[in-house]
Amino acid sequence: MKKIIILTIMLSSFAFTNAQDSNWTIGGDSNFSYISMDGFSGGSLDLTALYSLSEKLQVGATLGLNFGDFDGTPISAAARYFLTDSWNLFTSIGLTDDSPDGIDIGLGKRYMVSDNVELNPGLNYNTEMESVGLVIGFAIKL
């Protein structure tokens, strides 16, 4: 139920945002994880779409393709908050049964390669699985 409420709030925020001011960021990343408590590993290739609600806050969704010891196609609600022009906090929570339990939280850095292309390395932590992951991604600002 909590996942449905979060998704509803996110979709409502899109409905009340002026389309002229839209600022989409579309990106992909690889998330390689090692979970020490169970000793298995895997990863995912993720496609993320984020919409800028302000200069500091972006919200959207992530679609993942898992491999290794992870199965399924997870879909998650995602958000990114910029502490500075380049450092950001990011979080996601799964919306499907294929999504990992818990909340992913992380710290990332945005390197602007050009006016609309960014490189996004970061570290994330899953609260339920107690796993740490290295995220290496890129994005295009539309």
pTM: 0.74
Number of structural domains found in the chain: 1
- Round to whole Å and give the CA distance between 44 and 31: 5
Q: What is the pLDDT of residue 37?
A: 54
Query: pLDDT tens, 109-127?
Result: 999 999 889 999 999 998 9
CATH number assigned to the domain comprising residue 41: 2.40.160.20
> How far is the C-alpha of 39 from the C-alpha of 121, rounded, in Å?
24
pLDDT of residue 9: 45
Write phi, then psi, for 20 (nearest 5 degrees): -65, -30
* CB-side neighbour CA atoms (13 Å) of 104: 28
Q: pLDDT tens, 46-83? A: 899 999 999 999 999 999 888 777 778 899 999 999 99
Q: What would the DSSP string read from start to end of 44-79?
A: EEEEEEEEESSSSEEEEEEEEEEEET--S--EEEEE
Domain that holds residue 131: 2-141
Supply the pLDDT for residue 32: 59
**Chain mean position to CA 124:** 10
